[in-house]
Amino acid sequence: LSTIAIGTGKASIHRYLIDAAMEHFLQIFVIAVVKHLNKNIANRLKFKL
């Protein structure tokens, strides 16, 4: 019973780390995309002005 609990504990920690890493990556990706879009919009506004 204890070995199963340890096994599931390791699996859940592993899954948590993967989820955290994916979430972190997505946040960085979204921020990068938003910055890129903001730069493009700013450039277009400059050209319009």
For 20, half-sphere exposure in the C-beta direction (CA atoms, 13 angstrom radius) is 6
Bigger pLDDT: 46 vs 32: 32
Q: What is the pLDDT of residues 19-33, one digit of tens each?
A: 999 999 999 999 999
Of the chain, the end-to-end C-alpha distance in Å amounts to: 71
Looking at residue 43, its pLDDT comes to: 87
Residue 45: closest CA among 27, 31, 37: 37
- Pairwise pLDDT comparison (18 vs 49), residue with the higher score: 18
Domain locations along the chain = 21-49
DSSP 26-44: HHHHHHHHHHHHHHHHHHH
